[in-house]
Amino acid sequence: MNKAGNIVIPPQFGTIDTRQLIYDDYSFVRNGVYASFSEGFAAVCEIKQSKCGFIDKSGKVMIPLQFDMTLPFSEELAAIKIGDKFGFVDKTGKLVINPQFDGAIKFSEGLARVVIGKKFGYIDKAGKIVINPQFDYAQDFSKGLAMVAVGERNEGSIGYIDKSGKYIWNPTS
């Protein structure tokens, strides 16, 4: 729907509300029906077959609905899921980082959070691990720092790291 309230893209897709992604037993779960555009694309899913891809603002499918899950574009790349592994595609739909992670989120300041096993770490845009998966939870980088946690979810310790993985503020409860 546009700002005037006119339907621009007829309802035809299911979507993923990235605000409602639930991290449960170290796997991401779809929950919600909210679509938002990021970098000119919206991540959408075909309702019956549950395959996901990307549309442009006119509703045209720009990247075929072929993935098991898609997340919005950030810094020219989007996390996708094929089978039980996550990787990243560019805006042409080309796979630029092969699905190899148990979880993946968006790029922020050149690094993306990924999950290997049950631990969070960070990769660069070439798919190279920059900060080894070692955290029980991690957030995106902002102004060169990221909050990380070690230990049980509600009883763990929180600290901050820089882009090299060095603690700027050691974990404390």
Q: What is the domain partition of the chain in residue ranges?
A: 14-172
pLDDT at position 115 is 96
Across residues 93-104, what is the average pLDDT? 97
Residue whose structure tokens are 């992670």: 101
d(CA 168, CA 66): 41
d(CA 85, CA 115): 10
pLDDT class of 153 with cuts at 50, 70, 90:
low
Q: Which residue has the higher pLDDT, 1 or 114?
A: 114
In Å, how far are 100, 111, 121, 126 from 129, measured between CA atoms? 12, 9, 8, 9
pLDDT at position 29 is 32
Burial annotation 73-98 (CB, 10 A radius, 16+ → b, else e) = bbeebbbbbeeeebbbbeeeeeeebe
pLDDT at position 46 is 80
Per the structure block, which two tokens stand in for 47? 């309702």
When mean pLDDT is compared across 74-83, 112-121, 150-159, the lowest value belongs to: 150-159
pLDDT tens, position by position, 9-52: 766 665 544 433 434 333 333 333 345 789 999 888 887 777 89
pLDDT at position 33 is 35
Q: Which residue has the higher pLDDT, 49 or 81?
A: 81
Per the structure block, which two tokens stand in for 118? 């049950």
